[in-house]
Chains A and B, each alone.
Chain A
Amino acid sequence: GENVEQHPSTLSVQEGDSAVIKCTYSDSASNYFPWYKQELGKRPQLIIDIRSNVGEKKDQRIAVTLNKTAKHFSLHITETQPEDSAVYFCAAMDSSYKLIFGSGTRLLVRP
């Protein structure tokens, strides 16, 4: 089955700097890669997603890139703000429609 690895587990950046979180997946048939943000005690919420026929997608300060050959995808947050502090999860939907999550990255943006 699908396996998703996520790095780093924790990330601390200065406000205004960029943050990058990387994930790899194992199932070459996986075709959908969403990213979720989870604030403490809250539900995970989708922030951006990408399908396998696209290499990059951007939404304001957030971008996601996908390298199908290498089976990895990354989340990029530019001009980070304190309210970006949260746990971020990557995920991959495999060929049987299961959405498998990475282990999460705790992002801290220092004011």
Chain B
Amino acid sequence: GAGVSQSPSNKVTEKGKDVELRCDPISGHTALYWYRQSLGQGLEFLIYFQGNSAPDKSGLPSDRFSAERTGGSVSTLTIQRTQQEDSAVYLCASSLSRGAGNTIYFGEGSWLTVV
């Protein structure tokens, strides 16, 4: 596609339910990033993939959060047993490769509200 695509764009879920957020990176991009942005706040690093492997998972807030990437393309971020503090925009980004000078392009985000 022309840009990074994320779905759903909006999700309202009940506390305790599991949610899956999907990211389709720009075609050919090998690096993929997930960030979380709470209302009016900065971008919190969650995880990044180079190909299908995630060299650094240190940003995941708890063991309720997991992410995978298959076929070097689509990635899914899963939040189990959602809590109200999980409410945020989850932003996905991709770049041609990891490393300096590779522009990182963001998707529009998935707005998650836990009620």
Contacts and interface: CB of A to CB of B under 8 A. Distances in A.
B33 A99 contact: yes
B115 interface: no
A20 interface: no
Contacts of A51: 100-101
A34 B104 contact: yes
Contacts of A101: 35, 42-43, 45
Of B42, B91, B105, B106, the most chain A CB neighbours within 10 A belong to B42
A100 B47 CA distance: 11
Interface size class of B (residues with CB under 8 A): 20 to 34
Contacts of B33: 99
A34 B71 CA distance: 28
B99 interface: yes
Contact of B41 (A49, A93, A103): A103
Residue among A36, A43, A102 with max Cβ neighbours from chain B (10 Å): A43
Interface of B: 31, 33, 35, 41-43, 45, 48, 50, 55-56, 58-59, 91, 98-101, 103-109
